[in-house]
């Protein structure tokens, strides 16, 4: 998804949006705020931000402000991930400083890709160096369709890329990957490929991009799939129906290979009973279901809690 562009200034002069225009307003449906009303979004990128920087319309402080605002939007929504571009012209040392010190990203709802890629521009007949986020968004979509959202979008060919702004060595890759810089590399005979799939989170549980995005998919699917409960009596029978409903969905995910474990009980659990729904919670008109899944290791569950309210709203907690 992309935020709406700023209108042209009076008299035909080009208008350059600043950080405030990118961040926008949810009531006016502008900028990132305007995307709050769109529930179907799973990724957000702003490749034109770097074009504005190259034109001199904004500086690096504004770039940082917009990117942190984009990440804040994704964290607020909890169902989408930001694709972050680095500034152009950075070497491996520079991108490490930008990621860790200058920008200081730390989010499970964002991923950073480096370096920029070169593409052929049919209008000029020459190659252009462009930020990678547009290509990466396409790779995510292709990977979701062909392999599934639970598969890491790595070792994927960057279609349309003819070269890289900078060739990344294996040693540089080994230094950048642990800090969440997903490198794009050229391999002889194999083309230009994405060689990393990490988020910008310091939390080991959310280090891997496919885990974060797969959880987004599971949470959204289960939240929508359990909306029927809001008009039902909040009792033992309802809790049992919720357990059956969610378990039926998760066992299909396990059978498709999206969850680890030789048996379903090693891959997930669903808890909806007196313990998750004490009397004080029932009195508030909400039913809570705790779900644990093993997306990485058979012995490791990542847990989230889902609540449906009698008012018709839903809530997720990780």
Confidence band for 243, pLDDT divided at 50, 70 and 90: very high
Let me know the angle formed at the C-alpha of 226 by 152 and 315, rounded to the nearest 5 degrees.
75
- 70-124 tens-digit pLDDT: 999 999 999 999 999 999 999 999 999 999 999 999 999 999 999 999 999 999 9
Answer yes or no: are the C-beta atoms of 182 and 114 closer than 8 Å.
Answer: yes
- 130-177 tens-digit pLDDT: 999 999 999 999 999 999 999 999 999 999 999 999 999 999 999 999
Q: For the chain, give the longest Cα–Cα distance.
A: 70
Report CA torsion sign: 287, 311, 43, 255. positive
* CATH dotted code for 10-209: 3.40.50
Closest CA to 215 of 119, 294, 105: 294
Specify the DSSP element, H or E, that contains 240: helix 236-255
Question: How do the domains of the chain map onto residue ranges?
Answer: 10-209, 226-317
- 250-270 tens-digit pLDDT: 999 999 999 988 999 999 999
pTM of the model: 0.86
């Amino acid at each position: 998804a992309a935020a709406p562009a700023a209108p042209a200034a009076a008299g035909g002069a080009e208008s350059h949006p600043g950080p405030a225009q990118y961040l926008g307003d949810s009531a006016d449906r502008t900028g990132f705020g305007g995307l709050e009303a769109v529930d179907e979004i799973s990724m957000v990128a702003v490749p034109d931000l770097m074009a504005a920087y190259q034109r001199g319309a904004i500086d690096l402080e504004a770039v940082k402000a917009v990117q942190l605002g984009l990440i804040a939007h994704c964290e607020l929504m909890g169902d989408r991930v930001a694709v972050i571009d680095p500034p152009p012209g950075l070497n491996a040392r520079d991108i490490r400083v930008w990621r860790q010190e200058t920008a200081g990203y730390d989010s499970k709802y964002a991923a950073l890709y480096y370096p920029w890629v070169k593409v052929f521009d049919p209008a000029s007949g020459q190659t252009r160096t462009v930020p990678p986020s547009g290509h990466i968004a396409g790779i995510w979509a292709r990977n979701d369709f062909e392999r599934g959202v639970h598969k890491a979008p790595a070792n994927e060919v960057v279609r349309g890329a003819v070269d890289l702004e900078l060739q990344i060595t294996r040693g540089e890759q080994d230094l950048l990957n642990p800090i969440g810089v997903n490198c794009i590399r050229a391999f002889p005979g194999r083309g230009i490929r994405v060689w990393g799939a990490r988020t910008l989170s310091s939390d080991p549980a959310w280090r891997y991009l496919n885990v974060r995005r797969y959880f987004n998919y599971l949470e959204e699917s289960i939240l929508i799939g359990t909306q029927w409960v809001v008009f039902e009596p909040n009792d033992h029978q309802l809790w049992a129906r919720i357990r059956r409903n969610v378990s039926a969905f998760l066992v299909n995910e396990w059978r498709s290979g999206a969850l680890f474990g030789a048996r379903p009980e090693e891959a997930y659990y669903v808890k909806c009973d007196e313990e998750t729904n004490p009397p004080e919670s029932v009195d508030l008109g909400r039913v809570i279901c705790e779900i644990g899944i093993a997306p990485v290791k058979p012995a490791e569950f990542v847990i989230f809690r889902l609540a449906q309210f009698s008012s018709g709203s839903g809530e997720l907690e990780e």
